[in-house]
Amino acid sequence: MREKSYNARGISGKVRLDLFLSRQDTDLSRTRIKSLIETGRITVNGETARPSRILRPGDRVRIVYPEPEPVEITPEPIALDVLYEDRHLIAVNKPPGLVVHPAAGHRSGTLVHALLHHCTELSGIGGVQRPGIVHRLDKGTSGVIVAAKDDRAHQGLARQFKEHAMSKQYRAVVYGVERPRSGVYRSSIGRHPLHRKKMASVHSGGKEAITRYRTLEDFGLLSYMELDLQTGRTHQIRVHLSESGHPVCGDPLYGGRRRLPRDADSKLAGLLKDLDRPALHAHRLRFDHPVNGEPVDLCAPIPADMQAILDRLRELKTKEGRS
């Protein structure tokens, strides 16, 4: 049985139990913390409590981690593009359209099913549905994703994600051209007040979200951007780009299904019409190996659908330069 204890000695003001723990090195999400509190696995001074309990200086909080449940997911022989692998972790280039872990509507054919077939063993910290999963990418987003094979690696990777110690670089094809060509998007992101499936920059109740951006290529109607995540909020890049007036191409949720002008190149228009996901790619991930401390630098090539759009945009730009 694994457990951790925390002393609330240094708190000031009214701090909720769930918020206090979300700020500690627990390796647990806010949702997971709430679940453990409600099932009595998190106690305050030896007594069960509610997530909203206000802590007092000196309170002792104890977490008793449940034993990993046996994974009942059937491994599936789904091909993986492995970028890095050792006995502690594995990193792959996730193709667009592949769901990361089982959920409602996706009980099979996920990255987890593929990893279990390839690795046979994954860290149990993520629970039955998410063994080995430390972070995730949206179904439509392609690129680098890393998973842990053992709990030590999982804890080390989770700590780096939580402390924003990882370098996470994305590439995107977007509408329009941002001015200035480089800068920082900064807002507080939370659930959209009207649309439950969307996130948005909000005035209260959100979490700080910071994205550094740089325009790599300017094509006029579209541009190719590089984005560095300083934080990791849900849909962060898609929200920031949409709210700046430059939604990711192919993103129906955040306005990326715009039409090009009627006189636009028909081949380019066809490529955009056929794009069935946001043109967003997790291009590079850099971190320290969670066990041996060595630097790991992983890069995934731009996928075919995005590359085809970029190739056509470059052809058109070259033609314009000659005319």
DSSP letter for each residue of 249-316? TT-TTTT--PPPPTTS-HHHHHHHHH--S--EEEEEEEEE-TTT--EEEEE-PPPHHHHHHHHHHHHH
Give the pLDDT score at 318: 93
Mean pLDDT across 145-150: 95
The pTM of the whole model exceeds 0.85: no
Tens-digit pLDDT profile for residues 83-107: 999 999 999 999 999 999 887 677 7
Q: Choosing from 138, 150, 251, 305, which is the catalytic residue?
A: 138
> Is 305 among the catalytic positions?
no
CB atoms under 10 Å from CB of 74, counted, come to: 10
Q: Rounded to an integer, what is the distance from CA 144 to the centroid of its chain?
A: 10
The continuous run of DSSP H or E covering 231 comes out as none
The residue from 158, 192, 222 where one domain ends is 158
Are both 171 and 154 inside the same structural domain? no
Tens-digit pLDDT profile for residues 251-308: 999 998 988 999 999 999 999 999 999 999 999 999 999 999 999 999 999 999 999 9
The residue from 111, 131, 158 where one domain ends is 158
The continuous run of DSSP H or E covering 290 comes out as none
What CATH number is attached to the domain comprising 111? 3.30.2350.10
Q: CB–CB of 34/42 below 8 Å? A: no
| Strand, helix or coil for residue 306 | helix
Are both 113 and 180 inside the same structural domain? no
Are both 176 and 253 inside the same structural domain? yes
Are both 131 and 269 inside the same structural domain? no
Are both 86 and 227 inside the same structural domain? no
- Domain hosting 54: range is 2-65
Are both 173 and 311 inside the same structural domain? yes
Whether residue 123 lies inside any domain: the answer is yes
β-pair partners for 288: 295
Closest C-alpha to 70, from 127, 116, 147? 127
Are both 245 and 154 inside the same structural domain? no
Tens-digit pLDDT profile for residues 71-85: 578 899 999 999 999
Are both 259 and 305 inside the same structural domain? yes
Q: Token pair of 271, please?
A: 């490529």
Tens-digit pLDDT profile for residues 115-132: 999 998 888 877 777 888
Whether residue 115 lies inside any domain: the answer is yes
Distance CA 227, CA 94 (A): 18
Residue at 214: amino acid letter: R
Whether residue 317 lies inside any domain: the answer is yes
Quote the number of domains for the chain.
3
Are both 222 and 137 inside the same structural domain? no
